[in-house]
Amino acid sequence: MKRRTENSENGGEMTLSGHLTELRNRIIVIIVVLIAAMLVGLHYAETIITALLDIGRARGYQFVYLAPQEMLIQYFSLSLIFAALIGLPIIFYEVYAFMSPGLRHREKIFMMLAIIFGMIFGFLGILFAYKILIPFMLYFLLDMSKGVDVYAAISVGNYVSFLMTIFIIFAVLFEFPVVSVLLSQLGIIKVEWMRKARKVMIVLIFLMAAIVTPPDIVSQVMVALPMLLLYELSIILCTIFGVFKKKEKKTEIEEEDDAEDEDPTPEGTTI
Protein backbone atom coordinates (compact mmCIF):
# COMPACT_ATOMS: atom_id res chain seq x y z
CA MET A 1 0.00 0.00 0.00
CA LYS A 2 1.47 3.30 -1.03
CA ARG A 3 0.81 6.12 1.40
CA ARG A 4 1.71 9.72 0.92
CA THR A 5 2.46 12.11 3.72
CA GLU A 6 2.58 15.88 3.63
CA ASN A 7 5.18 15.85 6.38
CA SER A 8 7.78 13.78 4.54
CA GLU A 9 10.74 15.78 3.36
CA ASN A 10 10.63 14.61 -0.25
CA GLY A 11 6.84 14.41 -0.52
CA GLY A 12 7.10 10.70 -1.34
CA GLU A 13 5.81 7.58 0.33
CA MET A 14 5.57 7.09 4.09
CA THR A 15 8.39 4.98 5.50
CA LEU A 16 7.86 1.75 7.45
CA SER A 17 8.61 3.54 10.72
CA GLY A 18 6.04 6.16 9.75
CA HIS A 19 3.46 3.42 9.18
CA LEU A 20 4.21 1.87 12.56
CA THR A 21 4.10 5.22 14.36
CA GLU A 22 0.75 6.10 12.83
CA LEU A 23 -0.62 2.63 13.61
CA ARG A 24 0.55 2.92 17.23
CA ASN A 25 -1.06 6.35 17.62
CA ARG A 26 -4.38 5.15 16.21
CA ILE A 27 -4.37 2.06 18.46
CA ILE A 28 -3.74 4.33 21.47
CA VAL A 29 -6.72 6.49 20.48
CA ILE A 30 -8.93 3.39 20.19
CA ILE A 31 -7.82 2.07 23.61
CA VAL A 32 -8.43 5.43 25.30
CA VAL A 33 -11.90 5.71 23.74
CA LEU A 34 -12.80 2.15 24.78
CA ILE A 35 -11.66 2.73 28.38
CA ALA A 36 -13.62 5.99 28.60
CA ALA A 37 -16.72 4.36 27.09
CA MET A 38 -16.38 1.42 29.50
CA LEU A 39 -16.36 3.79 32.49
CA VAL A 40 -19.48 5.51 31.17
CA GLY A 41 -21.11 2.11 30.59
CA LEU A 42 -20.23 1.03 34.13
CA HIS A 43 -21.94 4.15 35.44
CA TYR A 44 -25.17 3.31 33.55
CA ALA A 45 -24.94 -0.50 33.89
CA GLU A 46 -27.57 -0.65 36.64
CA THR A 47 -30.01 1.38 34.55
CA ILE A 48 -29.42 -0.85 31.51
CA ILE A 49 -29.89 -4.09 33.50
CA THR A 50 -33.08 -2.72 35.06
CA ALA A 51 -34.47 -1.92 31.61
CA LEU A 52 -33.63 -5.43 30.38
CA LEU A 53 -35.14 -7.10 33.45
CA ASP A 54 -38.32 -5.05 33.08
CA ILE A 55 -38.95 -6.71 29.70
CA GLY A 56 -39.05 -10.11 31.40
CA ARG A 57 -40.93 -8.94 34.50
CA ALA A 58 -43.71 -7.54 32.32
CA ARG A 59 -44.23 -11.08 30.99
CA GLY A 60 -44.23 -12.91 34.30
CA TYR A 61 -40.56 -13.75 34.79
CA GLN A 62 -38.87 -13.59 38.18
CA PHE A 63 -35.13 -13.10 38.47
CA VAL A 64 -32.56 -14.31 40.97
CA TYR A 65 -28.78 -14.24 41.22
CA LEU A 66 -26.99 -17.47 42.09
CA ALA A 67 -23.62 -16.17 43.25
CA PRO A 68 -22.55 -13.14 45.33
CA GLN A 69 -20.50 -11.74 42.45
CA GLU A 70 -23.06 -12.39 39.71
CA MET A 71 -24.50 -8.87 39.55
CA LEU A 72 -21.01 -7.32 39.59
CA ILE A 73 -19.98 -9.56 36.70
CA GLN A 74 -23.05 -8.50 34.74
CA TYR A 75 -22.28 -4.82 35.37
CA PHE A 76 -18.78 -5.26 33.95
CA SER A 77 -20.04 -7.39 31.05
CA LEU A 78 -22.59 -4.77 30.05
CA SER A 79 -20.03 -1.98 30.39
CA LEU A 80 -17.73 -3.87 28.00
CA ILE A 81 -20.54 -4.33 25.48
CA PHE A 82 -21.50 -0.67 25.88
CA ALA A 83 -17.88 0.35 25.28
CA ALA A 84 -17.72 -1.78 22.14
CA LEU A 85 -20.92 -0.25 20.74
CA ILE A 86 -19.94 3.33 21.54
CA GLY A 87 -16.37 2.79 20.39
CA LEU A 88 -17.25 1.18 17.05
CA PRO A 89 -17.61 4.48 15.15
CA ILE A 90 -14.19 5.60 16.42
CA ILE A 91 -12.61 2.23 15.63
CA PHE A 92 -14.04 2.23 12.10
CA TYR A 93 -12.92 5.82 11.55
CA GLU A 94 -9.37 5.07 12.70
CA VAL A 95 -9.21 2.03 10.40
CA TYR A 96 -10.53 4.12 7.52
CA ALA A 97 -8.12 6.99 8.22
CA PHE A 98 -5.17 4.58 8.31
CA MET A 99 -6.13 2.90 5.02
CA SER A 100 -7.54 5.85 3.05
CA PRO A 101 -4.23 7.26 1.66
CA GLY A 102 -3.70 3.96 -0.17
CA LEU A 103 -7.22 3.81 -1.62
CA ARG A 104 -8.64 5.22 -4.83
CA HIS A 105 -11.42 7.82 -4.67
CA ARG A 106 -14.15 5.28 -5.42
CA GLU A 107 -12.79 2.86 -2.82
CA LYS A 108 -12.73 5.62 -0.20
CA ILE A 109 -16.38 6.47 -0.86
CA PHE A 110 -17.41 2.81 -0.85
CA MET A 111 -15.56 2.11 2.40
CA MET A 112 -17.04 5.16 4.12
CA LEU A 113 -20.56 4.22 3.01
CA ALA A 114 -20.01 0.63 4.20
CA ILE A 115 -18.93 1.88 7.64
CA ILE A 116 -21.82 4.34 8.00
CA PHE A 117 -24.56 2.01 6.80
CA GLY A 118 -23.01 -0.94 8.64
CA MET A 119 -23.42 0.92 11.92
CA ILE A 120 -26.95 2.07 11.01
CA PHE A 121 -28.14 -1.43 10.09
CA GLY A 122 -26.47 -2.93 13.17
CA PHE A 123 -28.29 -0.45 15.40
CA LEU A 124 -31.59 -1.19 13.62
CA GLY A 125 -31.03 -4.91 14.23
CA ILE A 126 -30.56 -4.33 17.97
CA LEU A 127 -33.61 -2.04 18.06
CA PHE A 128 -35.72 -4.62 16.20
CA ALA A 129 -34.68 -7.36 18.65
CA TYR A 130 -35.34 -5.13 21.67
CA LYS A 131 -38.72 -3.74 20.61
CA ILE A 132 -40.27 -6.64 18.69
CA LEU A 133 -38.47 -9.97 18.72
CA ILE A 134 -37.44 -10.38 22.38
CA PRO A 135 -40.90 -9.56 23.83
CA PHE A 136 -42.43 -12.14 21.47
CA MET A 137 -39.78 -14.73 22.32
CA LEU A 138 -40.12 -14.26 26.08
CA TYR A 139 -43.89 -14.56 25.86
CA PHE A 140 -43.66 -17.66 23.68
CA LEU A 141 -41.05 -19.40 25.86
CA LEU A 142 -43.03 -18.66 29.02
CA ASP A 143 -46.23 -19.90 27.39
CA MET A 144 -44.49 -23.18 26.54
CA SER A 145 -44.04 -23.93 30.27
CA LYS A 146 -47.64 -23.30 31.32
CA GLY A 147 -48.47 -27.01 31.19
CA VAL A 148 -45.87 -27.71 33.90
CA ASP A 149 -46.32 -26.65 37.52
CA VAL A 150 -43.24 -24.42 37.71
CA TYR A 151 -42.61 -20.70 37.74
CA ALA A 152 -39.96 -18.80 35.81
CA ALA A 153 -37.20 -17.81 38.25
CA ILE A 154 -34.21 -17.17 36.01
CA SER A 155 -30.63 -16.34 36.81
CA VAL A 156 -29.81 -12.74 35.93
CA GLY A 157 -26.60 -13.93 34.29
CA ASN A 158 -28.38 -16.46 32.07
CA TYR A 159 -31.08 -13.95 31.16
CA VAL A 160 -28.66 -11.17 30.22
CA SER A 161 -26.50 -13.62 28.24
CA PHE A 162 -29.60 -14.79 26.38
CA LEU A 163 -30.57 -11.22 25.47
CA MET A 164 -27.02 -10.28 24.45
CA THR A 165 -26.88 -13.33 22.17
CA ILE A 166 -30.14 -12.27 20.48
CA PHE A 167 -28.89 -8.68 20.10
CA ILE A 168 -25.63 -9.82 18.51
CA ILE A 169 -27.37 -12.28 16.16
CA PHE A 170 -29.79 -9.68 14.83
CA ALA A 171 -27.18 -6.94 14.66
CA VAL A 172 -25.23 -9.29 12.37
CA LEU A 173 -28.33 -10.38 10.41
CA PHE A 174 -29.23 -6.76 9.69
CA GLU A 175 -25.79 -6.31 8.12
CA PHE A 176 -26.96 -8.53 5.25
CA PRO A 177 -27.41 -5.64 2.76
CA VAL A 178 -23.93 -4.26 3.48
CA VAL A 179 -22.29 -7.69 3.28
CA SER A 180 -24.22 -8.53 0.10
CA VAL A 181 -23.04 -5.36 -1.65
CA LEU A 182 -19.45 -5.99 -0.53
CA LEU A 183 -19.48 -9.59 -1.81
CA SER A 184 -21.16 -8.47 -5.02
CA GLN A 185 -18.49 -5.84 -5.64
CA LEU A 186 -15.80 -8.46 -5.05
CA GLY A 187 -17.48 -10.77 -7.56
CA ILE A 188 -18.16 -13.51 -4.99
CA ILE A 189 -21.94 -13.43 -5.43
CA LYS A 190 -24.14 -12.21 -8.27
CA VAL A 191 -27.40 -10.35 -7.98
CA GLU A 192 -28.94 -12.84 -10.43
CA TRP A 193 -28.35 -15.61 -7.89
CA MET A 194 -30.12 -13.60 -5.20
CA ARG A 195 -33.12 -13.04 -7.45
CA LYS A 196 -33.35 -16.76 -8.23
CA ALA A 197 -33.09 -17.64 -4.52
CA ARG A 198 -35.88 -15.22 -3.54
CA LYS A 199 -38.60 -17.89 -3.14
CA VAL A 200 -36.35 -20.12 -1.06
CA MET A 201 -35.40 -17.19 1.19
CA ILE A 202 -39.05 -16.26 1.72
CA VAL A 203 -39.80 -19.79 2.93
CA LEU A 204 -36.73 -19.85 5.21
CA ILE A 205 -37.52 -16.44 6.71
CA PHE A 206 -41.13 -17.34 7.51
CA LEU A 207 -39.98 -20.67 8.92
CA MET A 208 -37.57 -18.88 11.25
CA ALA A 209 -40.31 -16.40 12.22
CA ALA A 210 -42.69 -19.27 13.01
CA ILE A 211 -40.09 -20.82 15.33
CA VAL A 212 -39.33 -17.72 17.40
CA THR A 213 -42.84 -16.21 17.66
CA PRO A 214 -46.20 -17.26 19.13
CA PRO A 215 -48.38 -19.32 16.75
CA ASP A 216 -50.34 -16.45 15.21
CA ILE A 217 -49.92 -14.94 11.77
CA VAL A 218 -49.59 -11.33 12.99
CA SER A 219 -46.54 -12.10 15.13
CA GLN A 220 -44.93 -14.11 12.35
CA VAL A 221 -45.45 -11.35 9.78
CA MET A 222 -44.09 -8.68 12.16
CA VAL A 223 -40.85 -10.64 12.53
CA ALA A 224 -40.57 -11.89 8.94
CA LEU A 225 -41.39 -8.63 7.16
CA PRO A 226 -38.23 -6.70 8.18
CA MET A 227 -36.07 -9.65 7.11
CA LEU A 228 -37.82 -9.81 3.73
CA LEU A 229 -37.35 -6.06 3.28
CA LEU A 230 -33.64 -6.44 4.06
CA TYR A 231 -33.32 -9.15 1.43
CA GLU A 232 -35.08 -7.05 -1.20
CA LEU A 233 -32.98 -4.04 -0.22
CA SER A 234 -29.86 -6.16 -0.71
CA ILE A 235 -30.94 -7.01 -4.26
CA ILE A 236 -31.66 -3.35 -5.05
CA LEU A 237 -28.34 -2.11 -3.64
CA CYS A 238 -26.35 -4.85 -5.39
CA THR A 239 -28.03 -3.87 -8.67
CA ILE A 240 -27.29 -0.15 -8.21
CA PHE A 241 -23.65 -0.65 -7.24
CA GLY A 242 -23.28 -3.17 -10.07
CA VAL A 243 -24.34 -0.50 -12.56
CA PHE A 244 -21.81 1.95 -11.09
CA LYS A 245 -19.08 -0.68 -11.30
CA LYS A 246 -19.84 -1.40 -14.97
CA LYS A 247 -19.79 2.32 -15.80
CA GLU A 248 -16.46 2.76 -14.04
CA LYS A 249 -14.94 -0.19 -15.91
CA LYS A 250 -16.23 1.20 -19.19
CA THR A 251 -14.73 4.61 -18.39
CA GLU A 252 -11.36 3.05 -17.51
CA ILE A 253 -11.31 1.09 -20.78
CA GLU A 254 -12.15 4.22 -22.78
CA GLU A 255 -9.40 6.19 -21.02
CA GLU A 256 -6.88 3.44 -21.75
CA ASP A 257 -7.92 3.39 -25.42
CA ASP A 258 -7.61 7.18 -25.63
CA ALA A 259 -4.17 7.05 -24.05
CA GLU A 260 -3.04 4.44 -26.58
CA ASP A 261 -4.42 6.52 -29.47
CA GLU A 262 -2.57 9.62 -28.24
CA ASP A 263 0.76 7.77 -27.79
CA PRO A 264 3.04 9.30 -30.48
CA THR A 265 5.75 6.65 -30.16
CA PRO A 266 5.94 4.61 -33.40
CA GLU A 267 6.19 0.86 -33.21
CA GLY A 268 9.71 -0.51 -32.98
CA THR A 269 11.07 2.81 -31.66
CA THR A 270 13.00 2.69 -28.43
CA ILE A 271 13.11 5.71 -26.17
Q: What is the pLDDT of residues 230-239, one digit of tens each?
A: 999 999 988 8
State residue 2's pLDDT score: 46
Of 133, 4, 134, whose CA–CA distance to 56 is shortest?
A: 134
Of 139, 163, 128, 205, whose CA–CA distance to 52 is shortest?
A: 163
Q: Is the pLDDT of residue 221 over 60?
A: yes
State residue 271's pLDDT score: 44
Best-predicted range by mean pLDDT (100-104, 118-122, 250-254): 118-122
The whole-angstrom separation of Cα 185 and Cα 91 is: 23
Torsion sign (Cα): 179, 185, 186, 192: positive
Report CA-CA distances (Å) from 241 to 116, 132, 134, 208, 253.
16, 31, 34, 29, 18
Q: Is the pLDDT of residue 240 over 80?
A: yes
State residue 35's pLDDT score: 92
Work out the average pLDDT over 205-220. Answer: 77
Residues near 97 by Cβ (< 8 Å), separated by ≥ 6?
26
3-state secondary structure of 207: helix
Q: Is the pLDDT of residue 33 over 50?
A: yes
State residue 14's pLDDT score: 67
